[in-house]
Amino acid sequence: MFFLIPALTAFVITILITPVIIRIAEKYGLVDNPKLRPHPAHIQNRIIPRAGGLACFFGIILPILIFLPLEKHLLGIILGMLLLLIIGIADDKLKNLSPFSRLTVQIFASLIVVASGVGISYFTNPFGGIIRLDGIVYTLSFLGIHNIILLADLVAVLWIVWTVNMVNWANGVDGQTPGFMAVAFFILGFYSFGLSLNGDQNQYWIAVLAFISGGTALGFLPFNWHPARIFLGFSGTMILGFMLAVLSILSGAKLAVALLVLLLPAVDSIYTGVRRILSRKSPFYGDRNHLHHLLLKRGWTHQQISLFYITTCAILGMLAINLSSSGKLFAILGISTLIIGSLLWLTFFGNSSEHSDPGNG
């Protein structure tokens, strides 16, 4: 049970450092002020610090330095997180950077971690066998010899960028995102730990990294629970989404496990993007029609919505661990249909007409 010690360390570090981050955010204007930073998705009228990415960054980095050897994958992860932290804090300070500026930085952060050797070489075929993505390889001579696995690296970048934005879009009510992300990290941690017991020793350090990330999210949760004392901000949601995407690749390319665990926010993000495009709007311009907004309009509280997301992700996580590849596919298709039906019902039977505005989506 040694892997629980890094998780506990990350939890304690985050618990101790977050009050300090709150004071720093208040001192340097890293706050969410609805009067200075209007956005249709805002549901708070209070001035609240939004530099939670600093707490998440140190909550993850410090245990990594304590418990894990620094090799090229970890260096790529750390550099990618640092880049996301910088652009996120800049957005918190400057108020509403262009969504396309943030997207560009997300792509660069993904390229850094892919360049460190994190890639998707194959998918497990739900109907048997595997689907390989490492057939096309280019060799690049620059500061050494590097192999670019075209499809594997491209799919990895797309997966990381999409997951980062999916988590960002699901950050709507107090306690929602750190709650369900803690569940997702622990599910991936237990999954990788199980693989390590079956002989894949490389999965052990991946499990430790997942538990560190889960401990950080859990340590941040009390400060973000309603009424929140601090928000994750763009930096926090991007860092947590980035870590989940990378871990799902490292843990044997178990993208289906991560997708099933986060199926609720994933389907909501796809539905939202398609809905905005059909309305001739940019998918990166926000409104108040996400699932959590629709539930608020139906009278749900922050606590009820957060617990709903946390419980749903935990149930889907249990399914993800125990289902076969084909079982995961059918579960994803069936439950996605149910979620889309619920979103359509809530959209057409709720008052969801809001003006759009640039923001985090």
How many whole angstroms separate alpha carbon 160 and alpha carbon 179? 20
Q: What is the mean pLDDT of the chain?
A: 84
Mutual orientation of helices 233-250 and 99-115 as an angle, nearest 10°?
30
Does the residue 191 lie in any domain? yes
Q: Which regions of the chain are under pLDDT 50?
A: 142-144, 352-361
**pLDDT value of position 143:** 40
pTM of the model: 0.88
Position 126 scores a pLDDT of 65
**Looking at the domain assignment, is residue 335 inside a domain?**
no
In a domain, 260, yes or no: no
Q: Is residue 137 part of a domain?
A: yes
What is the rounded distance in angstroms from the CA atom of residue 172 to the CA atom of residue 224? 11
Q: What's the distance, CA 318 to chain centroid?
A: 19
Q: Torsions phi, psi of 44, nearest 5?
A: -115, 145
> What pLDDT score was predicted for residue 358?
45
Q: Tokens 């596919």, residue?
A: 329
Give the integer Cα–Cα distance in Å for 184 and 313.
7
Q: What is residue 46's predicted lDDT score, i.e. its pLDDT?
A: 79
Q: Write the burial class of residue 185 (CB in 10 Å: 0-12 exposed, 13-18 middle, 19+ buried).
A: buried
Does residue 91 lie within any of the structural domains?
Answer: yes
What is the structure's pLDDT at 297?
A: 86
Residue with tokens 């943030």: 102
In a domain, 134, yes or no: yes
pLDDT in the model for residue 150: 64
Q: Does residue 344 belong to any structural domain of this protein?
A: no
Which residues touch 238 (CB under 8 Å, ≥6 apart)?
53, 84, 87, 88, 102, 106, 164, 167, 168
Q: Is residue 219 part of a domain?
A: yes
Peptide bond into 19 cis (omega under 30): no
The boundaries of the domain holding residue 181 are: 4-255
> Across-strand partners of 32?
48
CA proximity to 32, closest of 359, 260, 361: 359
Nearest one of 249, 240, 234, 251 to 114, comparing CA atoms:
249
- Structural domains in the chain (count): 1
